[in-house]
């Protein structure tokens, strides 16, 4: 007994330290100079929380330490290998996948708990388990299930396994509303009459899993960052709910921290696109996008690599606008090379980073940082738009929607109102693209047909390499 | 309904903690430069793996013949641990890139 009390105190202290480290870690993660340390601090908090959980005094059970250690080892190995192997460009989908697994974990433990409750209900009647606990567990299962399948769909979309344009649900808003009602009805039904068969719990779980899929399927690929952030908040909430079930503070506080910070992050991302969260979820980007009429008969003019090199060499200032195309082509290092060559010839080169360029906010910053591009060379939206007026040449590398002038002047466009990089302020623009296909939002870009603009078709990396060679030969 | 009310009064402190944590989360994040959105999301994602604690508690409480609890708990720990370890490792990899800059 004595010994158990000591253990209990150690556990409580450990959880307290764990929670504190989570908070400090998150705080430091939100500032560039301390971010890396913040991540390590949060990881340390998690380590402590897991360790003390192994010594929590139990009044029942067989501890099953071997099983736990084996599972911890397997999880650690898979996690480490996956995070080491993944290419920087595939980072967003990996984060989504990890998040889904957290959700699945919440589902797994909720199902076991609910199964235990069921035994108690059947043995001792409806009063055996407090309905508050019952409800919380059902909710944890529901939220976890949505986070699980939703994240998998987001992963599939970003990985290119699920094609937005092909996989569609008719009237998704109504389907989702219907499923939501069924889930809530199922939960209420089980709650009012807990002795109802366990089958109902399975039904609720099954529909929640389906709901996760139908919730994310209608949302366009361009909005996946917002969705991942939202689903991340869901997993946090599921963890917090499970924390209430277990009376475990570290789960509660950790989960809620993620839930609320994830929500705020989601809202910040929506703001960056000038859209509301509801609009993202219900809107279904691209479904209205076909309305870009009148551009069909226009002609986009091409430019040769040679001419582009000359244009760049004899300009004073150049701004590069990277987008997802650069990420896909892994062209960030060559872009940096071009920048250095031009700088060596007295041309000022900067990068304009749109907050939602790529598949995640900050995606471009990460990639360019990987290529050793100096930090001060990256301009954010406002600074870039000011600098663009004094720029001779803008090179758009695989970006599309974030430079689409339709956002400024075409109220019928689905991205109307989104702040963009106003590249038309510059004297010339060169758009590097693989083809004339529209961008991820599925809408046509009038920029391509402007007098100032020239198209440079081809794979971003290959074209940039050719450009570097051409510019060098001009010396 | 009575039971719900009892649940709330019995867990009042927990509910206070919950509310405060919600606001803490909002405050901690509210001013983040765009550069850090991705690493922050990834870091927060790793923290949401804290649900693994539940899986560990679950499997420790289980009798060695309770195969449902053992199986799902085992899977839960693996999944949770992938989320935790992978999440922190990937975040660290992203942030390592930012770190090189000042040194240069």
Q: What is the pLDDT of residues A104-140, one digit of tens each?
A: 999 999 999 999 999 999 898 888 888 888 999 999 9
Residue of A264, A239, A233 whose CA lies nearest to A253 = A239
Phi, psi of A130 (to 5 degrees): -60, 135
Note the pLDDT tens digit of each residue in A237-280.
Answer: 999 999 989 989 899 999 999 999 889 888 887 877 667 788 77
Collapsing DSSP states into helix, strand and coil, what is residue A322?
A: strand
Tokens of A303: 């430019």
At B99, the pLDDT band (50, 70, 90 cuts) reads: low
DSSP A299: -
Q: CB burial class (10 A; 0-12, 13-18, 19+) of residue A266?
A: buried
- Which tokens in the block code for residue A165? 């344009």
What ipTM was assigned to the predicted interfaces of this complex?
0.89
* Rounded distance between C-alpha atoms, residue B49 and residue A16, angstroms: 17
Report yes or no: A111 and A140 within 8 Å, Cβ to Cβ.
no
Three-class HEC string of A67-86: HHHHHHHHHHHHHHHHHHHC
Is residue A289 over pLDDT 70? no
- Quick check: is A401 catalytic? yes
Say how far apart CA A276 and CA A280 lie, in whole Å. 6
What is the rounded average pLDDT for all residues in chain B? 84
Closest residue in B to A51 (Cα–Cα): B53
Q: A175: how many CB neighbours lie within 10 A of its CB?
A: 17
Residue (of A4, A252, A238) closest to A137 by Cα position: A238
More confident of the two residues A2 and A413: A2
Residues 414-453 of A with CB under 8 A from B: none
Q: What is the pLDDT of residue A3?
A: 85
Q: Give me the pLDDT at residue A274, please.
A: 67
Q: Taking a C-beta distance cutoff of 8 angstroms, is the pair A148, A216 a contact?
A: no
Band of pLDDT at residue A326, cut at 50, 70 and 90: confident
How confident is the prediction for chain A on average, in pLDDT?
86
For range A21-34, the mean pLDDT: 89
Lowest mean pLDDT among A110-114, A221-225, A286-290, A466-470: A286-290
Chain B interface, best mutation among A7, A59, A64, by max B CB count within 10 A: A64
In the stretch 236-265 of chain A, residues with CB closer than 8 A to chain B read: 236, 238-240, 242-265
pLDDT of residue A104: 96
| Residue A396: strand pairing partners | A321, A431
Q: Does A318 have pLDDT greater than 50?
A: yes
Alpha-carbon span A380 to A421, nearest angstrom: 9
Rounded to an integer, what distance in angstroms lies between the CA atom of residue A147 and that of residue A212? Answer: 7
Quickly tell me which residue has 């696109």 as its tokens: A273
First-last CA distance in chain B: 64
- pLDDT of A41 > 70? The answer is yes
Catalytic residue among A401, A409, A459, A466: A401
List, for residues B10-45, the tens digit of each pLDDT value. Answer: 778 878 888 888 888 888 877 777 677 788 889 999
Token reading at A109: 């433990």
pLDDT given at position B44: 92
Domain boundaries, chain A: 1-85, 86-285, 298-473
Q: What is the pLDDT of residues B40-91, one digit of tens each?
A: 889 999 999 999 999 999 999 998 888 999 999 999 999 999 999 999 999 9
Q: Report how far apart the first and last C-alpha atoms of chain A are (Å, whole number).
A: 83
pLDDT confidence band for A1 (50 / 70 / 90): low
What residues pair up with B86 in beta bridges, in sequence order?
none
Q: Which of B17, B69, B92 sits opposite A252 (nearest CB)?
A: B17
DSSP character at residue A300: P
Q: A298-473 has which fold?
A: Rossmann fold (3.40.50)
Task: Determine whether the interchain pair A30/B52 forms a contact, defined as Cβ–Cβ distance below 8 Å.
Answer: no
The distance from CA A326 to its chain's CA centroid, rounded to whole angstroms, is 18
Ranges A44-53, A341-350, A410-419, most confident: A44-53
Asked if A456 and A234 count as a contact pair (C-beta separation under 8 A), the reply is no
Higher pLDDT, A270 or A384: A384
């Amino acid at each position: 007994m004595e010994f158990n009390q000591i253990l209990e105190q150690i556990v409580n202290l450990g959880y307290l330290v764990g929670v504190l480290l989570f908070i400090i870690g998150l705080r430091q993660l939100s500032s560039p100079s301390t971010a890396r340390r913040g991540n390590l601090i949060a990881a340390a908090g998690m380590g402590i929380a897991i360790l003390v959980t192994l010594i929590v005094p139990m009044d029942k059970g067989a501890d099953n330490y071997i099983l736990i250690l084996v599972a911890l080892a397997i999880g650690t190995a898979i996690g480490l290998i996956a995070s080491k192997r993944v290419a920087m460009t595939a980072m967003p989908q990996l984060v989504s996948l990890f998040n889904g697994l957290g959700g699945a974990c919440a589902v797994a433990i909720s199902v076991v708990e609910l199964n235990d409750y069921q035994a108690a209900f059947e043995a001792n009647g409806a009063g055996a388990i407090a309905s508050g606990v019952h409800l919380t567990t059902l909710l944890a299962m529901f939220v976890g299930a949505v986070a699980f399948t939703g994240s998998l769909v987001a992963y599939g979309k970003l990985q290119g396994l699920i094609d937005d344009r092909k996989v569609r649900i008719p009237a998704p808003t109504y389907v989702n509303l219907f499923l939501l009602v069924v889930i809530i009805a199922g939960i209420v039904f089980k709650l009012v009459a807990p002795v109802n068969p366990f089958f109902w719990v399975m039904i609720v779980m099954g529909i929640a899993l389906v709901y996760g899929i139908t919730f994310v399927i209608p949302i366009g690929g361009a909005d996946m960052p917002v969705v991942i952030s939202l689903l991340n908040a869901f997993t946090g909430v599921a963890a917090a709910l499970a924390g209430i079930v277990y009376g475990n503070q570290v789960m509660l506080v950790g989960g809620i921290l993620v839930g609320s910070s994830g929500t705020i992050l989601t809202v910040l991302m929506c703001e960056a696109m000038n859209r509301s969260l509801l609009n993202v979820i219900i809107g279904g980007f691209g479904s209205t996008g076909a309305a870009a009429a009148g551009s069909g008969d226009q002609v986009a003019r091409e430019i040769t690599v040679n001419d582009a090199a000359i244009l760049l060499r004899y300009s004073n200032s150049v701004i590069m606008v990277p987008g997802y195309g650069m990420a896909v082509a892994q062209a960030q290092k060559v872009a940096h090379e071009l920048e250095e060559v031009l700088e060596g010839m007295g041309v000022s080169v900067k990068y304009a980073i749109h907050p939602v360029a790529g598949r995640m906010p900050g995606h471009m910053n990460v990639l360019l940082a990987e290529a050793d591009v100096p930090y001060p060379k990256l301009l954010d939206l406002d600074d870039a738009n000011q600098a663009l007026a004094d720029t001779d040449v803008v090179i758009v590398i695989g970006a599309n929607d974030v430079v689409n002038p339709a956002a400024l002047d075409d109220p019928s466009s689905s991205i109307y109102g989104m702040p963009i990089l106003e590249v038309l302020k510059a004297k010339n623009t060169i758009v590097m693209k693989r083809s004339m296909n529209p961008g991820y939002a599925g809408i046509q870009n009038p920029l391509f047909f402007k007098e100032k603009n020239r198209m440079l078709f081809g794979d971003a990396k290959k074209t940039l390499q050719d450009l570097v060679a051409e510019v060098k030969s001009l010396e | 309904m009575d039971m719900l009310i009892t649940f709330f009064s019995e867990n009042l402190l927990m509910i206070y903690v919950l509310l405060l944590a919600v606001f803490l989360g909002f405050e901690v994040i509210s001013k983040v430069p765009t550069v850090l959105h991705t690493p922050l999301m990834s870091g927060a994602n790793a923290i949401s793996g804290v649900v693994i604690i539940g899986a560990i508690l679950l499997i420790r409480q289980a009798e060695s013949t309770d195969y449902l609890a053992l199986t799902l708990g085992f899977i839960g720990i693996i999944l949770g641990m992938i989320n935790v370890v992978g999440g922190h490792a990937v975040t660290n990899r992203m942030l390592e890139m930012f770190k090189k800059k000042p040194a240069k």
